[in-house]
Amino acid sequence: AQSVTQLGSHVSVSEGALVLLRCNYSSSVPPYLFWYVQYPNQGLQLLLKYTTGATLVKGINGFEAEFKKSETSFHLTKPSAHMSDAAEYFCAVGTGTASKLTFGTGTRLQVTL
Amino acid sequence: EPEVTQTPSHQVTQMGQEVILRCVPISNHLYFYWYRQILGQKVEFLVSFYNNEISEKSEIFDDQFSVERPDGSNFTLKIRSTKLEDSAMYFCASSEREGTYGYTFGSGTRLTVV
């Protein structure tokens, strides 16, 4: 069984500040890890994913995440927040064989001036 | 870039009515999925479909739900007798191979049951 825990349902940062959204996972097999972004009333857009190989993954819009197996974490970061980053962010875990993605409960990112 | 297309984007239906949500997966993808997101909650897996049969389903996917690939391009989710609690955003996804490596989600259908 797999699970995802996203710490902090709401995160507020100032424009230009570091964004850090936390995700911890549980998986009995090597995980595939994903971050999705959802803007209001829109669908799920893939930001980045980790499957195998390099543990630091770069995604779209300046986001990156690092897979840390020892900490079972896959935190999402962006060095400098922009107003357009305000959205809901979902971490998800899957595997290379099973077909199901398990999502976390999401973190709403607010960016203030 | 290839897309998963869902229609309609928003559907309103009366409680007890049947509703069919439609999806056109990416053409060379073989695995198909439906997910649900109740407003303000997390995205939940409903069902996966491969080779014209269900490969996995969640406890949410009860007898009121069914899926079908009626032709070579469409993938549908049917809810036989809608309840108020079926109101949600429904996402279709497809992938080329087994596993979650190459998932592509559609933009969703917002279903409102009144």
pLDDT for B5-38, tens place per residue?
A: 999 999 999 999 999 999 999 998 999 999 999 9
Q: For residue B46, what are the contacts with CB-CB under 8 A and spacing of at least 6?
A: B33, B34, B35, B36, B57, B58, B60, B61, B65, B77, B90
Sign of CA dihedral A5, A8, A12, A17: negative
Residue A91 pLDDT exceeds 90: yes
- The answer to whether the CB atoms of B41 and A102 lie below 8 A apart is no
* Distance separating the N- and C-terminal Cα atoms of chain A: 41
Question: Given pLDDT bands bounded at 50, 70 and 90, which one contains residue B44?
Answer: very high
- The answer to whether the CB atoms of B105 and A97 lie below 8 A apart is no
CA A15, chain centre distance (Å): 19
pLDDT recorded at residue A25: 96
Query: In A, residues 75-104, which contact B (CB 8 Å cutoff)?
Result: 90, 92, 94-104
Q: How far off is chain B from A78, nearest CA to CA, in Å?
A: 23
Identity of the residue in A43, A99, A106 whose CB atom sits nearest the CB atom of B100:
A99
CB-CB contact of B11 with B110 (8 Å)? yes
Question: Given pLDDT bands bounded at 50, 70 and 90, which one contains residue B72?
Answer: confident
What average pLDDT does the segment B66-95 reach?
95
CA B36, chain centre distance (Å): 7
